[in-house]
Amino acid sequence: MTSRDRTGHNASDLGSVESWLVSAGRDRRPGLPLNVPPCPASNFVLGERRAYSRDDGTPSWEALEEIVSGLEGGSSVSFASGMAGIAAIFDQLHTGSVVALSDDCYQAVAGIAKAGQSRGRWTVHRVAVADTARWIEMCGVADLIWLESPSNPLLTVADLDAICAAPRKRGAILGVDNTFATPLNQRPLTLGADVAMQSATKFIGGHSDLLSGVVTVRDANLLAALRQARELAGATPGTLETFLAVRGARTLALRLERAQCNAMTLAERLARHPNVTLTRYPGLASHPTHAAARRQLKGFGTIISFDVRGGASAADAVCAGLQLIQHATSLGAVESTIERRASIPGQEHLPPALLRLSVGIEAVEDLWTDLDRALRNVAG
């Protein structure tokens, strides 16, 4: 079965996303391995099925694409990384295009938008995630409307219901980076988006051991264009990486459920902590876009950002004082990680004392003991 046969499936075919995650992407012919094994092959014996992996894929890619296609409700293309997938989307734009981009977004996406603008390829308009009226306005003029919701790292939730329903310029692409929500909490394609992107490096892989990205679309022409962009750029996913992503995806529902419960508990406690000046989490009633989160999301996610009293030096000291929570970048894995985002090049505009915490599946009381001790030691 090739990747072209593995599209159009839906998680509801098996009754629930939990069952889909465990069952999808398997080759059920008698005598074959229960799990699709890594296939370290660049070329194949010529025949009807496939010839060269860069062009035709491997069983590992196909399994990952089938799983994510069913979760997102479309047809998927896997890439070497999330950024490779986003670059392929930007590559669909013609010279002179207009791009509407979230003001709060992953710094590498802002980088690719800025680089293209500097070369005269497109014009970029940065739009506040919560400014629904401005997004609706840009839908009528932009060739690419690119949102992150919840956003990174301020966790603002866009009104995707309204934005996706707005009339769009002919030929425009509306895409949503769905990494923070995961397709278990949010399905942008069902709301009317053209593209949903997952950095499978994060929650789908879930173990901090791979780079991968998956782009899911509804339109067959866009699907073909993205496959061609992947092929021509050589932005193909690795054999081991896709195997690991499939294995990680099997437990996504369990991991997400546990980590979200942990995150809600920690967010509520951080919001009351004397050495925290501001806590951002979509599940808190105090969050500016909490109403949109309640309306659109099935769960509030596992990411919290909070500002430490005392500024950047105090925030750095908190990171250094943690024992269980790992001081590391990235997110969405079984282990909890934390970092001061303004210390990263391209993120200097963020509040200097903001820490982004990706909550894992550890015992919540152990996580809180670690956080509370580090916060109080800074004050002490």
Active-site position among 6, 50, 104, 106: 106
Whether the predicted pLDDT of 44 surpasses 90:
no
Whether the predicted pLDDT of 7 surpasses 50:
no
For position 4, what pLDDT does the model report? 34
Whether the predicted pLDDT of 11 surpasses 80:
no
Structure confidence by residue, pLDDT tens digits, 234-256: 999 999 999 999 999 999 999 99
Active-site position among 202, 227, 341, 356: 202
Q: How confident is the model at residue 59 (pLDDT cuts 50, 70, 90)?
A: confident
User: Stretch 301-320: mean pLDDT, rounded?
Assistant: 98
The side-by-side arrangement of strands in the sheet containing 173-177 is 75-79, 213-217, 195-199, 173-177, 144-148, 97-102, 122-127
Within a 10 A sphere around the Cβ of 225, how many other Cβ atoms? 17
Is residue 27 annotated as a catalytic residue, yes or no?
no
**Weakest mean pLDDT among 10-14, 169-173, 256-260, 281-285:** 10-14
Q: How confident is the model at residue 1 (pLDDT cuts 50, 70, 90)?
A: very low
Whether the predicted pLDDT of 3 surpasses 50:
no
Q: How confident is the model at residue 2 (pLDDT cuts 50, 70, 90)?
A: very low
Structure confidence by residue, pLDDT tens digits, 263-299: 999 999 999 999 999 999 999 999 999 999 999 999 9
CA 347, chain centre distance (Å): 18
- Residues above pLDDT 70, as percent of the chain: 96
- Rounded Cα gap, residues 53 and 239, in angstroms: 10
Structure confidence by residue, pLDDT tens digits, 323-341: 999 999 999 999 999 999 9
The mean of the pLDDT values for the chain is: 94
Q: How confident is the model at residue 217 (pLDDT cuts 50, 70, 90)?
A: very high
Structure confidence by residue, pLDDT tens digits, 311-322: 999 999 999 999
Structure confidence by residue, pLDDT tens digits, 110-146: 999 999 999 999 999 999 999 999 999 999 999 999 9
Is residue 91 annotated as a catalytic residue, yes or no?
no
Greater pLDDT, 319 or 51: 319
User: Stretch 165-184: mean pLDDT, rounded?
Assistant: 98
For position 8, what pLDDT does the model report? 45
Active-site position among 91, 104, 159, 177: 177
Whether the predicted pLDDT of 93 surpasses 60:
yes
For position 14, what pLDDT does the model report? 54
Is residue 169 annotated as a catalytic residue, yes or no?
no
Whole-structure pTM value? 0.93
User: Stretch 78-90: mean pLDDT, rounded?
Assistant: 98
Q: At what angle do helices 107-118 and 82-90 cross, to 10 degrees?
A: 30
Structural domain spans, the chain: 3-249, 252-379
Q: List CB contacts of 76: < 8 A, sequence separation 6 or more.
A: 7, 64, 65, 66, 68, 69, 214, 215, 216, 217
Active-site position among 4, 54, 134, 269: 54
Instruction: Supply 202's token pair.
Output: 């994060």
User: Stretch 91-111: mean pLDDT, rounded?
Assistant: 96
Whether the predicted pLDDT of 194 surpasses 60:
yes
CATH code 3.40.50.10860 for 3-249: no
Instruction: Determine if the peptide bond prior to 150 is cis (ω within 30°).
Output: yes
Is residue 177 annotated as a catalytic residue, yes or no?
yes
Torsion sign over Cα 306, 178, 21, 203: negative
Cα–Cα distances in Å, from 112 out to 101, 102, 184, 239, 322?
11, 13, 28, 26, 34
Q: List CB contacts of 234: < 8 A, sequence separation 6 or more.
A: 54
For position 10, what pLDDT does the model report? 65
In CATH terms, the superfamily for domain 252-379 is Aspartate Aminotransferase, domain 1 (3.90.1150.10)
Residue with token string 């950047």? 312
For position 257, what pLDDT does the model report? 98
Instruction: Supply 85's token pair.
Output: 């997938």
